[in-house]
Structure 1
Amino acid sequence: MCIPSKPNKYGLKMQCLADAKTHYVYNTYLYCGKNADGLTLTEEKKQPIPLQTCLRLYQTILSSNRNITIDNWFTKDFTIANYVPKKNKSVLLVSSMHDGNSMDESTNKPEIILQYNSTKAGVNAVDQMYSVYSSSRRTRRWPMPILYRLLDISALNAYIIQQSHERASKMTRMTFLKGLTKSLCEPYMKERCYNQRLPAQLRTNIATALQIRLPTPSEPGESQKLDRNKRKRCSFCKPVKRAKTVHLCICMTCAKLFAVPTCL
């Protein structure tokens, strides 16, 4: 869909519920349009689309004594406040939380204005944090952007939870994402590093990145023992130059055959 007021005008729209202070994402879902938005809803299906969105998003914080700040897309019977900060400039706000025209003495502004200004940038701040460190890549398959955004949401929530811990060491988001990426990839990389069917150079690169040593065989097996009467191929020569020769040795690190002296 197209939203001209956003930096990225075209794309998939995801409705999001985020904390205004910590920017933790509580709930989100993909908005599929007016006709398809109520397919998974039951009692709320006949309600207006903005109300359906609220009913779907706030389920995770229901009965938690929290206040939700929304924009003008969501409408209902609210308390209306008219604030004129400058001449010929009028600001209209609606609220179901405030009663009357209560003013703040220090700033001489209505409490509705202060409440809205302090909580209005929750989702926009989340979008800005996504754009700084994003896993999104160019693709022509529409499910992939959804997967990339879910990865970004999970990584951001993990960082917020880690930083909210009292004994957690303060670190930048980049450092946290690097450590998170390494911890997620390390088990898979170790599994590939010990796979004897992979190229030796690839296994060596993985071992160097993980700072580990490749498994060293205690003694070559019967199938690995070098037969001087048979010609075999070197495991390290390029495929175009991999010729058979009898001048081979067995590497004690990876148990591969290499030519002497070209591959020493």
Structure 2
Amino acid sequence: MRLAKPIYKSGRNVTADNRFTSLKLVRDLEKEKLSYVGTIRQNRRELPQDFISPKNMVCFNSIFGYTKNETLVSYCPKKGKTVTLLSSLHVGSNELFNELVKKPEVILFYNDTKSRVDVVDKLCGTYHVGRTTRRWPMVIFYHLMNTAGINARVILLGNNKIFYQRRDFLKKLSLKLGEEQLKCRAQIINLPKELKILLKRYKPVLEEQPSETRKRLRCERCYEQQKKKSLRVHRCELCGTSLCLRIHAKFICEKCLQSHKSDTD
């Protein structure tokens, strides 16, 4: 009811699967001038016993039940299986069965309007970001990411009129979302070689980083004197020379530096 609130009083139809369908929901939507079509689980208390497990039902046969504003259909697509649907859109006994395909009109309408949801489920299953987890918030997050990827491509195609294969679009989208993380990882000096090889695939991201962030510094004086490399090396802010803090560089406070500048001036 909360999801359908934006279309109250519009006279539209709502199609859903058996997770939502109940007689109470259908009648509540009727008060808001909305019709409903959906499959219904056979353990609902409002279903008559004849619709739950019909005896000696032949394939492609149907059983109909009517109230003033609702229609209940039990259809047998194959032996030993029945599908039950509840509809407030198909009321009365006129044109409720299609002789050409041997299916009730309720089922044909449901298959036609439910196909959009099936397409979204198929797209999510083709390229899925989910991982095995026992935490239900992560499951919801993965589903939101899958849906957001589909919606983002639809918006891009609608605004730019440029066709993108979904696989290529998702690769570019994932790279763009992880761009900031790649920049941070590229600045780490002691990064493992395996990760450095992987980061080389993303040259546009790495080229934005200055060269000194990707190369370990060494003291120039120690290198000239063929001494062991110092662990703490910094660059001079004035000339850019790299010097070690152990031997060839010293700390000076700002007060002494300013007094030294004033004396030299």
- Write 1 or 2 for the structure with the bigger share of helix: 2
Larger Rg: 2
TM-score, length of structure 1 as denominator length: 0.50
TM-score, length of structure 2 as denominator length: 0.50
Which structure has more RCO (C-alpha within 8 Å, separation ≥ 6)? Answer: 1
